[in-house]
Chain A
Amino acid sequence: MTGPVVEAIDVVRTLGVGAGQVEALKGVSLSVACGELTLLMGPSGSGKTTLLSVLGCMLTPTAGTVRVRGRSTTGAGAGELARLRRDYIGFVFQSYHLFPTLNAVDNVRLALDVRGERSARAIARAKDVLVTVGLSHKENAFPSELSGGEQQRVAIARAIVGNASAILADEPTGALDSENGHAVMTILAKIAKDPSRGVLVVTHDPRIVPFANRIVHIEDGRILGEEPGGA
């Protein structure tokens, strides 16, 4: 596939109501291209996570357009946005958000289960993806039995098991030491090499700059500019 997997065009997003209302995004345009790992960097409160939420179809823009694989999300209801998320977008969160009562393979399988894929092939696929992220030996382990790095790798496996076009990661190394952070970024960079996928990583961790193809800077709800990454 060519072209951006997800893109925001002149997106404005206000948060809060009344006197507490703030404009978190002020006409932002950003696209996540296939075969590319894009870093979105900026200080706290710059609008990174809000932009990630809008690109991930969790928040709707107050103004502007979001496109997922070329299709505008304008006017889409909650159900349609949920469908776009499960079909096209994989998420990786800073605090992993694994299900503590499910083992690794079930945590990964969950992303297929919500899409209605419940056959034995779905289990086999979840196990295959755990192999991809180097956790074949931990498929029956529960999150409490895994290290932070291993939990994040399970979360990445969950994000990619459904062949999502866009992987959106929010501070994926934020809770990890440098060794585990490096391992996680290596996996994300490898995923980004797939020409059918694009990866957007929100971070303020400069150690992961070498993994990026492109770095976009955001501040006060505006894109300041972009530069090539170290990859």
Chain B
Amino acid sequence: MSLILKLASRNLLQDRLRFVATIIGIVFSIVLVTIQLGLYLSFDRMVTTMIDHAPADLWIVPLGTKCFEDPSLLDEHDQTRALSVQGVTEAVPVVIGFTQWTVPSGGTTPVFIVGSNPGAAGLRPWNVVDGNLDALAAPHAIAIDKTYFARLGVTGIGDSVEIREHKAQVKAITSGIRSFTTTPYVFASLDQAQAYMGASPNRVSYFLVHVSPGADIAGVRQRLLASISKVEVLTPDEFRNRSRSFWLFGTGAGAALFAGALLGAIVGTVIVAQTLYSSTKDHLNEFVTLRAIGSSSVYIHKVIIWQALLSAVIGFSIAACIGLAIVWLTADTSLPIVMTPVLTLGLFVLTVLMCVVSAISAIVQVMRIEPARVFKQ
């Protein structure tokens, strides 16, 4: 082992209690940042999950739509106008909106209805784990996600329930289709969904436009805009970005998560800085001796930075294990925390950065001391 590393590790471990406090500080900080950023990633995925799973080349949306959950509605006759545009092969209507689900044990809970005609290339449920999509063609058939069984008072396929005083029967169960608002998604046929929402039968939320193979999408969009008034025509990417921007930044939800993550990083940096500073102060005689015997500034910086890096590696390893446990524990909940390899790498870089920045105060402290002070101690 290099002498610098040996000196750093022993300086760090000499006061075990302080070392444990440092590691707890780093772990606390990184777990907090992990949860905040994991939630952010989870929100980011959930915000666009419906758009991601919709087989559309273009979306026709009401003018001024801010996000997928926007309550504005279109006239169903716009479908005919869309289909008359050159290059459009299909314009599948989709209706979405909030309504009330009557819980069998009593009371109601809000749900988010997604309606699309069975058999059409619309917005259909995916990850079906029980039942099948064809069954959704039956009257009153709905699909729900197993995550929300307890909330909805449902036990499985065949359960009969009421949605806004209309009958519904669970015919398909999905896994992992969760809403970032924690409001359960309920899939139904288009007319059934309109009834559950209390919407007029000639009103829909979106049209999913399919263009003919090889058609110029930009040209089709221009023609759709020219043919239909009071609508916008968006590509899936544009709609995704608009939804993401609205929910994560427009509402402040993303900013709150980032603020939490930033707070975690600041807390961690302060704790590590404080510990390194006091550790350096305790070993000041040794650092002054190093300066007296002619060690370069770089040598001293290395000793202190190694202390910080060792703290970072140990703290991050523990925090990563806790983070993975949290990811595993929340995987099947309505608010899962997501960890990706990029996030893990980013958190490691953040931990190292946090610890190295923390070392600055200790380095400044040592470098400000006159080497001649060695004679006074």
Mask: chain A, 191-219; 1 = CB below 8 Å from B; 0 = not = 00000000000000000000000000000
Q: A91-B292, A102-B6, A113-B4 are in contact. Are A58 and B11 (CB under 8 A)?
A: no
The reply on B200 being an interface residue by CB < 8 A is no
The B-contacting residues of A in range 87-104, CB under 8 angstroms, are 87, 89-91, 93, 95, 97, 99-102
**Interface of chain B, main secondary structure:** helix
Min distance, Cβ A109 to any Cβ of chain B, angstroms: 6
Min distance, Cβ A221 to any Cβ of chain B, angstroms: 16
Neighbour of A114 across the interface among B11, B285, B296, B371, CB < 8 A: B296
**Does the CB pair A58–B3 fall under 8 Å?**
no
**Does the CB pair B295–A86 fall under 8 Å?**
yes
- CB nearest to A48 among chain B residues: B375
The reply on B216 being an interface residue by CB < 8 A is no
The reply on A231 being an interface residue by CB < 8 A is no
**Does the CB pair A102–B377 fall under 8 Å?**
no
**Does the CB pair A59–B372 fall under 8 Å?**
yes
The reply on A52 being an interface residue by CB < 8 A is yes
Chain A residues in 8 Å Cβ range of B294: 82-87, 89, 114-115
- CB nearest to A84 among chain B residues: B294
Q: A85-B293, A89-B294, A118-B3 are in contact. Are A95 and B372 (CB under 8 A)?
A: no
The reply on B286 being an interface residue by CB < 8 A is yes
Mask: chain B, 333-377; 1 = CB below 8 Å from A; 0 = not = 000000000000000000000000000000000000011101101
**Does the CB pair A110–B14 fall under 8 Å?**
no
**Does the CB pair A113–B3 fall under 8 Å?**
yes
**Does the CB pair A114–B293 fall under 8 Å?**
yes
Question: What is the number of contacts between chain A and chain B, taking CB atoms within 8 Å?
Answer: 82
Min distance, Cβ A7 to any Cβ of chain B, angstroms: 19
**Does the CB pair B295–A58 fall under 8 Å?**
no
Chain B residues in 8 Å Cβ range of A90: 293
Chain B residues in 8 Å Cβ range of A87: 294
**Does the CB pair B289–A97 fall under 8 Å?**
yes
The reply on B166 being an interface residue by CB < 8 A is no
The reply on A111 being an interface residue by CB < 8 A is yes
The reply on A79 being an interface residue by CB < 8 A is yes
**Does the CB pair A102–B375 fall under 8 Å?**
no
The A-contacting residues of B in range 293-320, CB under 8 angstroms, are 293-297, 299
**Does the CB pair A109–B3 fall under 8 Å?**
yes
Q: A99-B7, A114-B290, A170-B375 are in contact. Are A79 and B14 (CB under 8 A)?
A: no
The reply on B10 being an interface residue by CB < 8 A is yes
User: In this complex, which of A52, A83, A101, A111 has the most chain B Cβ atoms within 10 angstroms of its Cβ?
Assistant: A101
Chain B residues in 8 Å Cβ range of A118: 2-3
The reply on B291 being an interface residue by CB < 8 A is yes
Place the interface of chain B in its size category: 20 to 34
A52 to B371, CA, bound (A): 12
**Does the CB pair B370–A59 fall under 8 Å?**
yes
In the complex, how many residues of chain A place their beta carbon closer than 8 angstroms to a beta carbon of chain B? 34
**Does the CB pair A97–B374 fall under 8 Å?**
yes
Mask: chain B, 75-113; 1 = CB below 8 Å from A; 0 = not = 000000000000000000000000000000000000000
A114 to B6, CA, bound (A): 14
Chain A residues in 8 Å Cβ range of B371: 58, 82, 85
**Does the CB pair B295–A79 fall under 8 Å?**
no
**Does the CB pair B292–A58 fall under 8 Å?**
yes
The reply on A29 being an interface residue by CB < 8 A is no
A114 to B287, CA, bound (A): 12
The A-contacting residues of B in range 3-50, CB under 8 angstroms, are 3-4, 6-7, 10-11, 14
- CB nearest to A59 among chain B residues: B372
**Does the CB pair A99–B293 fall under 8 Å?**
no
Min distance, Cβ B1 to any Cβ of chain A, angstroms: 10
A93 to B371, CA, bound (A): 13
The reply on A106 being an interface residue by CB < 8 A is yes
Neighbour of A82 across the interface among B286, B296, B372, CB < 8 A: B296
The reply on A127 being an interface residue by CB < 8 A is no
The reply on A153 being an interface residue by CB < 8 A is no
Question: Apart from A58-B292, A59-B372, A102-B7, what are 8 other A-B pairs with CB-CB below 8 Å?
Answer: A53-B375, A58-B372, A78-B297, A82-B291, A89-B294, A111-B293, A114-B296, A170-B375
B residues within 8 Å of A by Cβ?
Answer: 2-4, 6-7, 10-11, 14, 285-286, 289-297, 299, 370-372, 374-375, 377
A residues within 8 Å of B by Cβ?
Answer: 49, 52-53, 56, 58-59, 78-79, 82-87, 89-91, 93, 95, 97, 99-102, 106, 109-111, 113-115, 118, 158, 170
9 closest residue pairs by CB, A with B: A86-B294, A85-B294, A101-B10, A114-B295, A58-B372, A53-B372, A97-B289, A113-B3, A58-B371
The 5 sampled A-B contact pairs (Cβ below 8 Å) are A83-B294, A102-B6, A109-B3, A113-B3, A114-B299
